[in-house]
Chain A
Amino acid sequence: MNYLREVFASRELLANLTLRDIRGQYKRTILGQLWSLVNPLAAMLVYTIVFRFLLRAAPPPGDPSGLDIFPVWLLCGLLPWSFFSSAVMGGMGSIVGNAGLVQKVYFNRIVLPVSTIGAVAFNWLFEMAVLVVVLLLVGGWHVVFFLPAVVVLMFFLAMFAAGLAMMLSIANVHFRDTQYFLGILFQIWMYLTPIVYPISIVQSLSDRHGGILGTHITLMQIFETNPMFQYVSAFRALMYDQRIPDWQDIVACILWAVAAFAIGLAVFRKNEKGLAEAL
């Protein structure tokens, strides 16, 4: 309880550090905040050309929305993913990146990873708003009914990312390998998550092979253990299909978020006192 009060007392610091990151990020650029859109757009272009036109990936049309536009389908999964990966990567480096501050001033260390994620989330919010406008333009106006649910889901994904970032930021202080390792892991992780290809491909592959290596475990079941699988499915259900996600996905998203955050917080608290020395 005491700790919560202390964290609450740091809310202004948290806001100021987040603002520092947001304001400082695109200073002295001509495009400013628009740069935050360039990355996802470039990725969208590349993945659409490679997966839609060269590899002929064809996700089923949105049900019941009837949307059948590959780039839009792609963005509904890609934006949450790119938020997640930049939030975890950024939060992980936040303690090492602010070493000067940690060694000179006492404040609640938890604001460092959390404010970094806040700044990334700000960009994400901006990107998602643009995506919603696009959805409205291409005829998916039912998305407005699901917007509150989208915001709640975004919150849980941010919580999940924050939990991982807290753990990894500590690990990164002790072993700087963490950041390089994670860079590679995230690349692999992205392709293990049905973002640029539809789940149906995995499903049909899984059905054809049945149990792997003589067990009853199917390929699909292995894919489903990936938390980002559920998050991406839930975002696609809400925004592209425009329906309520499967309840298993909802429960999984919430559980992953709560568990990661609780463990992350516990690890962080246990180690925060030694940070100034370890850096």
Chain B
Amino acid sequence: MSDIAVSVDHVSKRFRLYHERNQSLKSAIMRGRKSVYEEFWALNDVSFEVPRGSTFGLIGSNGSGKSTLLKCLTKIYFPEKGEIAAYGKLAGLLEVGSGFHPELSGVENIFLNGSILGMSRKEIERKRDAIIDFADVGDYIDQPVKNYSSGMYVRLGFAIAINVDPDILVVDEVLAVGDQQFQDKCRQKFAEMKRDGKTVILVSHSMDLVEQMCDEAAWLQKGDLKQVGPADPTIAAYLDYVNGPQG
């Protein structure tokens, strides 16, 4: 058993910025080749390790590559160079309620969304009550989800995702939605996961949240890893950089 949950090893991710994207055959033929594009490295030789059982924050300004990194972690993107290794079951929560069908009921969507997130039918049946309980949508659970308020929608989606019970949970700025009560509930859930020795990797723009919850943090800036290590100094360095020009 290693004490590392995720290792990111010299990862680089390239995107192609299309000047004129050929999504139609006509433009492809007219120009005689597929597209005109410029290369752009969204991640540049990023390496760090996430210790097992820690809560790890990814911080940085908009466009710094945080979300790209998350998508690489969750196998939605595949890096051009380098490798990412996850030791344990990794689940991503980049969006809540992925694949919800608006006309289907809450319960039907639990089964649908649960299996998209990789749960087996038996597992979902076992956790069904826990999910309904956490989502706290009351009698609406048998209603089509299109009738849900946005808060209920998010709560149901989050309740399913949190019950996937991964060893490593990757979360993208989803806590920003939902009311105060729900946010507190989520924080409790994260604390509980931490007690159970699970690893949480989260992206957030709220430095208060990162400071409160994370043990370690990594600061990305335009695809480069600026600093990684204990949360407080990393946040301080980031804030210094951000406030630098003014102060």
- Please indicate whether A and B come from the same complex rather than being unrelated chains: yes
Q: Does B152 contact A (CB under 8 A)?
A: no
Residue from the list B95, B108, B116 in contact with A13, Cβ < 8 A: B116
**Cα distance A195–B121 in the bound complex, in angstroms:** 42
Size band of the interface chain B makes with A: 20 to 34
Q: Does A203 contact B (CB under 8 A)?
A: no
Residue from the list B94, B101, B118 in contact with A104, Cβ < 8 A: B94
Tell me which residues from 235 to 279 in chain A have a Cβ below 8 Å from any Cβ of chain B.
273-274, 276-277
Residue from the list B25, B112, B118, B121 in contact with A17, Cβ < 8 A: B112
Binds B, one of A60-68, A121-129, A160-168, A174-182: A174-182
Q: Does B61 contact A (CB under 8 A)?
A: no
Q: Does A101 contact B (CB under 8 A)?
A: yes
Q: Does B75 contact A (CB under 8 A)?
A: yes
Task: Assess whether B118 is in contact with A107, with CB atoms less than 8 Å apart.
Answer: yes
Size band of the interface chain A makes with B: 20 to 34
Mark contacts of B89-125 with chain A using CB atoms, 8 A cut-off: 1 yes-contact digit, 0 otherwise. Answer: 0001011001101011000100110011110110000
Query: With A105-B98, A105-B117 in contact, do A175 and B28 touch (Cβ < 8 Å)?
Result: yes
**Cα distance A177–B115 in the bound complex, in angstroms:** 32
Q: What is the minimal beta-carbon distance from A184 to any residue of chain B, in angstroms?
A: 13
Task: Assess whether A12 is in contact with B116, with CB atoms less than 8 Å apart.
Answer: no
Q: Does B15 contact A (CB under 8 A)?
A: yes
Task: Assess whether B28 is in contact with A104, with CB atoms less than 8 Å apart.
Answer: no
Q: How many A-B residue pairs have CB under 8 A?
A: 75
Tell me which residues from 8 to 30 in chain A have a Cβ below 8 Å from any Cβ of chain B.
12-13, 16-17, 19-20, 23-24, 27-28
Interface of A, secondary structure class, is helix
Contacts of A102 in B (CB 8 A): 76
Task: Assess whether B76 is in contact with A24, with CB atoms less than 8 Å apart.
Answer: no
Contacts of A24 in B (CB 8 A): 101, 103-104
Q: Does A226 contact B (CB under 8 A)?
A: no
Q: What is the minimal beta-carbon distance from B238 to any residue of chain A, in angstroms?
A: 27
**Cα distance A107–B112 in the bound complex, in angstroms:** 13
Task: Assess whether B98 is in contact with A101, with CB atoms less than 8 Å apart.
Answer: yes
Residue from the list B26, B75, B104 in contact with A106, Cβ < 8 A: B75
Tell me which residues from 166 to 214 in chain A have a Cβ below 8 Å from any Cβ of chain B.
174-177, 181
**Residue ID in chain A nearest B75 by CB atoms:** A106
Query: With A12-B115, A175-B23 in contact, do A105 and B92 touch (Cβ < 8 Å)?
Result: yes
Q: What is the minimal beta-carbon distance from B116 to any residue of chain A, in angstroms?
A: 6
Residue from the list A23, A100, A273 in contact with B98, Cβ < 8 A: A100
Q: Does A103 contact B (CB under 8 A)?
A: yes
Q: What is the minimal beta-carbon distance from A33 to any residue of chain B, in angstroms?
A: 15
Q: What is the minimal beta-carbon distance from B63 to any residue of chain A, in angstroms?
A: 17
Q: What is the minimal beta-carbon distance from A254 to any residue of chain B, in angstroms?
A: 32
Q: What is the minimal beta-carbon distance from B241 to any residue of chain A, in angstroms?
A: 29
Q: Does B222 contact A (CB under 8 A)?
A: no
* Chain B residues with a Cβ under 8 A of chain A: 15, 22-26, 28, 71, 74-78, 92, 94-95, 98-99, 101, 103-104, 108, 111-112, 115-118, 120-121
- Give 7 nearest A-B pairs by CB, closest first: A106-B75, A27-B103, A104-B95, A177-B25, A16-B115, A13-B115, A276-B76
